[in-house]
Structure 1
């Protein structure tokens, strides 16, 4: 069986921790004291690896590619089963239907049979236990062999307005525990959500699917001919056409129209962690009902979610609140109101504030950098370069740079000169001078970079050579 993992989303419902360029799937949480400190993406990959002989196709975009690679590297020694993993890069971010179609086209190019069964899932859901979930996937595989498209439904436990719903018909005898899908329903208001629970034949839409390749291609061609045409092209031609495709979900493109839809109820724990309240629900609580992450002292505080990062947090006399602190932003909200976080993100986007796009720490294929301070005509960063990695050969027209090595050994090229720089040594990089930083050692290289100039933004960079194939930013 083949698996498609969708890891290109840019959700911001968990802002300020989730950002456009560092979305929810890459956030790391220990859900309980027995849970490993892993991202939702990493948990998804580990879950799939419980399936024997799984081949995984991860769909993401260029901005998230190196998060995927780094987090896969972190997982490498934890996986008992070693699946074959391939990364499919979307030329531009679209929606789930184009992403799934592109992954299937890539798989066919790699020799996958059109009789092969695929399972598709997001990379930001929490599901447990893994072993029981795998049994549901195996059951869906057998159903998909009968030319059906299987989706997975979650029995509602409350009148949730943040989820889409699926209405089902009675169970056809030949399909056992599977229901025939009647229709997909958009996120309802509270009254309709209560009615769905009372009627009993509505399920939360989990966004997961199982199908045979030729079955889904047939429906792509029937219901969304633009996407269906991708399967008449080579993969390279599909990449060129991708930017012209409609931004459409697999629900709109196929599932709301197909006559092949079957639903398998999932009798296990599932959450898409779509809000701070839903994260609170799954975290361990102290005796007063608080879910605490980080260094906090709380007095007369009850039923609250408090997440700290660098700062020491204290609370006094609050109840049913959400407090989330990052290095550059602080969210304080009343529980029950966190679906409106998207409104905050919209306002920040309209003001073009950096807290929407990036964290203070930004990851690159060679490592990461953290903004320590920024002022008029200067910026100070801490740069970490992984062993054996190298930055691009580049230059800046508007700033000079001063590098101080605080850990490891740097190999530095400035103009025509190459040299090694050790701990507590420094070098100066003049404006408009080609330069490159490399870590030739076996431990991470850390330097403090001081930029000075009339313009110190990230787009003042001219790349001449780059081993990672990046363009100028």
Structure 2
């Protein structure tokens, strides 16, 4: 069985922790591990390998995190733009043998009961081997209005329900045969494609035109124009709600989609009623005076609370979110405003991950910007130039190979170099340890979009 991992999505309901260039599936929320890593490890013993469907911009994040858990039996299908779950799953199924069993999972869900999870997967596998399209129904624990529901009788699906209001959701729970729609599926690739061809022929044909001819590569790149011509639709609307071959496996596996900070609080709350999450740092213990039932997320700052309860406090280096518990679904409204006022805050953190390493913005003010740049061994930035800024590079550790126009030189610790506005330049780490340097940008405009790439090994031209 092949694990198809859907790795798209921007996770904006967890802003400012999750952003477009570092969505929630890659954020290290639990014991230094990401949800993506947990997904891969959870399915490693159940499946022969993984087919990871990812946005090209997030490909390097996935590769880095796979290396960290020593997971190397994976294939990537890289989409230039997203077209929802039906096309993503169809393209992945077209890249494998039609008789292969596939187990479709998202990359950003949490499962706490591994034994119940494995039992449900084996149940689904036996149904899929008989030619069924199998979905997983999660036993509801409260009247959630943000999920779709599945009405069932045993393994038979009676109906799919749209996201209900609170009273309807409560009625579903009381009836006892309604389950949350988990977004996980199991079926034979060919069976799914036949049903897609029947119920959504336009998606089927456009995916067939987009899939590469050579399927042997570990990186299957979908052409931009071909991808844009694929209709946008979910697997539920396109196939599952129409097919007569659908079965459901009801299960109770300690599942959460972590779709809000309220859901995150429920997973990490402690006996002291306050919950703390440290993200890529080691912050001091928070001071809580007569304060309970609060979630605090921070990287390295001291947090102190006095006489406050039921708050969600999310502190990143460039944004702070404060919300009442129970209101965190409204974060999507905040993101909509952020995109209008400061779009970069919705896209990238001050600590930004790139294929070659990371950069962190230390100071960003009118006329200049200061960054800490870390380049991984054997990696290099694009050959590029800027029209609105000059750059000063100071090496802190490691050795930088610097190309400016037609000249290449080595810059060692405590040495510096200067890049004039308009000069073609490249930074490279040919050593065996991280290259750490400070970059000072000076100019009238220091935005990240002031860059012209002439040559790039990561195909970002």
Question: Into which bin does the TM-score normalised by the smaller protein fall?
Answer: over 0.9
1:48 corresponds, among 43, 49, 52, to: 43
Q: Where does the alignment leave 5 or more consecutive residues of structure 2 unmatched?
A: 214-221, 278-282
The residue matched to 1:63 in structure 2 has which SS? helix
Residue in 1 that maps onto 2:195: 219
Within a 5 Å distance, the mapping from 1:36-435 to structure 2 comes to: 36-51=31-46, 54-76=48-70, 84-105=73-94, 107=95, 112-168=96-152, 170-171=153-154, 179-230=155-206, 232-233=208-209, 235-236=211-212, 239=223, 240-287=225-272, 289-293=273-277, 294-295=283-284, 296-435=286-425
Residue in 1 that maps onto 2:216: none
Structure 1: distance between partners of 2:305 and 2:251? 39
Q: Compute the displacement of 1:305 (Å).
A: 0.8
Q: Compute the displacement of 1:284 (Å).
A: 4.2
Q: Compute the displacement of 1:394 (Å).
A: 1.3
Q: Compute the displacement of 1:234 (Å).
A: 6.4
Q: 1:50 touches 1:131 (CA, 8 Å); kept in 2?
A: no
Structure 1: distance between partners of 2:119 and 2:180? 20
The residue matched to 2:449 in structure 1 has which SS? coil
Query: How many residues are paired up?
Result: 446
Structure 2: distance between partners of 1:139 and 1:425? 62
Q: 1:404 touches 1:427 (CA, 8 Å); kept in 2?
A: yes
Q: 1:217 touches 1:231 (CA, 8 Å); kept in 2?
A: no
TM-score normalised per structure 1:
0.91
Cα distance 1:397–1:463, how it changes in 2: closer, same or farther (>3 A)?
Answer: same
Q: Compute the displacement of 1:135 (Å).
A: 3.0
- Are 1:26 and 2:2 matched, yes or no? no
Residue in 2 that maps onto 1:16: 16
Structure 2: distance between partners of 1:183 and 1:74? 42
Structure 1: distance between partners of 2:83 and 2:22? 17
Cα distance 1:418–1:26, how it changes in 2: closer, same or farther (>3 A)?
Answer: same
Q: Compute the displacement of 1:232 (Å).
A: 4.6
Residue in 1 that maps onto 2:218: none
The residue matched to 1:236 in structure 2 has which SS? coil
The residue matched to 2:13 in structure 1 has which SS? coil
Q: Where does the alignment leave 5 or more consecutive residues of structure 1 unmatched?
A: 31-35, 172-178
Deviations 1:119-140 (A, max 9, x none): 1010000012334422321221
Q: 2:210 touches 2:226 (CA, 8 Å); kept in 1?
A: no
